[in-house]
Amino acid sequence: MHCAVNTAFESFVRDLTPRYGLGEARSIARIVFADVLGYRPSPHTLSAEEEARLEPIRRRLLAGEPVQYILGRADFFGLKFRVNPSVLIPRQETEELVALALRWLNARQKRSPAVLDIGLGSGCIGIALKRRRPDARLFGIEKSPQALAVAIENGCTLLGEGQFTFLEADVLRPETLPADWPTFDLILSNPPYVRRQEQYLMPEHVLAHEPPEALFVDDEDPLLLYRAIAHLAQQRLGPNGGLFFECNEFTAQEVVSLLEKMGFTHPVLQQDLCGAHRMAWAVWKGG
């Protein structure tokens, strides 16, 4: 005898609670039932096929696999992005980076701004920004071919072909960037920033499933990518162009100091909704 949707839902939550806690278990269950079955909890009865679809998902969740990788998609800035283990799962903190950059960009009131997203991953930063600013000319680079494929797929799905230019390139090898790209009004990046010495602070499922090359930097030089991106920004930003970073809260002040030393104007350190120093941004006056 098949059970009602809300009975199956509560059973799903009970199974997940020992691993995830009650609140997170309910959140995961809502995602699964809505995305996989198209249901909210209700008195309707699950079919045998629906029960069969839920069971392998339940097993993978109990093994600690992130629900976004299981379903192959993640919510970000009101959009659904394709994700797989070659890219980080988009996070709320990164939504705040997009919102901050959008406010700055809109305040400038410049038509058709040129935007560069460095280290695309799923492409969520640049794509989400362009969805709010369709006039933006969006460019992006990613050194991982597997991640780049995900970003291009998301760009085609959420923006349409011809609405963006994403290429394989490495910011540590600036010669791989096309010389004919425009002068940019805005450069954004969420580079790897977790020091190896901090990995004990990270959840088990992140360490086990998300790509380490998108998470970690060497303890000896945690600002390597920030320095390289800022150097590129000196070359590629137009006058009064903006450079926006997501940061490690433990090294964020060092990012601000770096930008000051490199000649960027009045770097700002911004807290996220949890009160952590998560975003740094500054303006390049040129010269």
Do the bridges between strand 265-271 and strand 194-195 make them parallel or antiparallel, or are there none, so unpaired? unpaired
Indicate the pLDDT class of residue 45, thresholds 50, 70 and 90: confident
**pLDDT the model gives residue 51:** 87
- Summarised one tens digit per residue, pLDDT across range 205-242 is 888 999 999 999 999 999 999 999 999 999 999 999 99
**pLDDT the model gives residue 204:** 84
In this predicted structure, the answer to whether residue 25 has a pLDDT above a threshold of 50 is yes
- Summarised one tens digit per residue, pLDDT across range 71-114 is 999 999 999 999 999 999 999 999 999 999 999 999 998 999 99
- Find the angle CA(232)-CA(258)-CA(231) to the nearest 5 degrees: 10
pTM of the model: 0.93
- Summarised one tens digit per residue, pLDDT across range 103-160 is 999 999 899 999 999 999 999 999 999 999 999 999 999 999 999 999 999 999 999 9
Sign of CA pseudo-dihedral 154, 160, 162, 163: negative
**pLDDT the model gives residue 39:** 72
Mean pLDDT (whole number) for 261-284? 95
Long-range interactions of 164-167: CB distance < 8 A, separation 24+: 164/126, 164/127, 164/130, 164/138, 164/139, 164/140, 165/138, 165/139, 165/140, 166/120, 166/123, 166/139, 166/140, 166/141, 166/142, 167/139, 167/140, 167/141, 167/142
In this predicted structure, the answer to whether residue 1 has a pLDDT above a threshold of 50 is no
- Summarised one tens digit per residue, pLDDT across range 55-72 is 999 999 999 999 999 999
**pLDDT the model gives residue 184:** 97
Q: For residue 138, how many other CB atoms are within 10 A of its CB?
A: 24
Per domain, the residue ranges of the chain are 5-63, 77-284
CATH number of 77-284: 3.40.50.150
